[in-house]
Structure 1
Amino acid sequence: MSKRLAIKMAIGGLVTALALASADRPASAKDVIRCQAKGQPDVIMTLDGERKFGRVLSCIKGDFVADMTPCAPNGGYGLSYPTGSASLAKVVDRWQDYADHLGGITGYAADVSSLRFDGGFYSPNQRKRGAWGSHWAFKVDRLTGKATLMQEGKPDIGYACAKARPRF
């Protein structure tokens, strides 16, 4: 085998190995957003960092989240089980698809200038068809890094957000 062919094969093998290694790493390694506010616990978002039900999901963590797994696809909803660990039961794309769901719901929408997570609970017995009780919303301006946490019955809280890189 010529030296040139051996080098090409070695480079090809290295490229393949790197591609396989990066496929196993979660996308969240480069898409973590940390939001901070004075006197408040941090809010952490992983954008397109989870895969479940054959979908790419974004998630949010904060002390305002309770009894649900707050992950959803862009433009869709994550539906959590109503009891137990409140893990994710399924994901749907339209509000009509959670009309018979009892439990936590997380909505997520992103575009080039903003991110928004909404969380709450839905009960089919609610008066307005298709209505769900939004208990919190977290909206981020991607251009300024400013965010607002809106919670039912509480004053809004302003946050400053920045891309973060996990240390390990």
Structure 2
Amino acid sequence: MKLTNAIAVAAYLIAAGMALAASPEKPTHLLCKGDGDADVYVHLNSKKQFGHILSCVSGPFVSDMTPCAPNGGYGLSAATGSAALVGVVMRPQEYQRHLGGVTGFNRQGDDVTFIGGFMGSNGLQTSWTLKLDPEGNAVVRDKEGSTPYKCKPYAPSDFK
């Protein structure tokens, strides 16, 4: 029994690591589960909009925005209504006049970071961050504190 558990854990870690080690341009989808919390979904290089390949995240910490952005850039969400993605910029100076949600994404090697917040008259107020490591561990930090998740690759049937 212990040997089969060890094999299962090793296979899980290899799969999670391989998902992040995949080509930076290849779409990768991860399902992240925490203790009793709602699931988090990470979609790396999963869609193209505004002339950029975007990565997206969803989870209980996200509200009033479409949390997608290009690597090294920012996705801008509408301030009201559907909070749809309305633009993409590559430098922080370019979202200074935007009023609404801002999602940042950065992937350096196997380290993945999303940030989300709202740009208003007082500048960008970060609401949450999600950091993902090559072993499939993710941590979300928001106003509720830090929540750990374990992530593994999955094949979404209807992500667009």
| Alignment RMSD | 1.6
| Post-superposition offset of 1:167 | 5.5
Q: By percentage of residues, which structure has more strand? A: 2
In structure 2, distance between residues paired with 1:73 and 1:166:
20
When Rg is computed on C-alpha atoms for both structures, the one with the higher figure is 1
2:138 aligned to which of 144, 147, 151: 147
TM-score (norm 1): 0.76
In structure 2, the residue matched to 1:102 is: 99
| Post-superposition offset of 1:165 | 2.1
Which amino acid counterpart does residue 138 of structure 1 have in structure 2?
A: L
In structure 2, the residue matched to 1:164 is: 154
Q: How does 1:73-152 map to 2 (within 5 A)?
A: 73-123=70-120, 125-126=121-122, 131-142=123-134, 144-152=135-143
In structure 1, distance between residues paired with 2:57 and 2:156:
15
The one-character-per-residue Cα deviations of 1:97-154 (angstroms, maximum 9, x if unpaired) are: 001000000000012221111000011x21xxxx411000010002x111101002x2
In structure 2, distance between residues paired with 1:140 and 1:46:
12
TM-score (norm 2): 0.79
| Post-superposition offset of 1:54 | 1.0
Which amino acid counterpart does residue 49 of structure 1 have in structure 2?
A: S
In structure 2, the residue matched to 1:16 is: none
Percent identity among equivalent residues?
41
Structure 2 unaligned segments of length 5 or more: list them.
1-24
In structure 2, distance between residues paired with 1:166 and 1:69:
18
In structure 2, distance between residues paired with 1:108 and 1:159:
18
Name whichever of 64-73 and 106-115 sits farther off: 106-115
Asked which structure has the greater RCO (Cα within 8 Å, sep 6+), the reply is 2
Structure 1 unaligned segments of length 5 or more: list them.
1-26
In structure 2, the residue matched to 1:23 is: none
In structure 1, distance between residues paired with 2:47 and 2:157:
19
Q: How many residues align?
A: 134
Q: Which portions of structure 1, spanning 4 or more consecutive aligned residues, are displaced by more than 4 angstroms?
A: none
Equivalent residue of 1:41, what SS?
A: coil
In structure 2, the residue matched to 1:58 is: 55
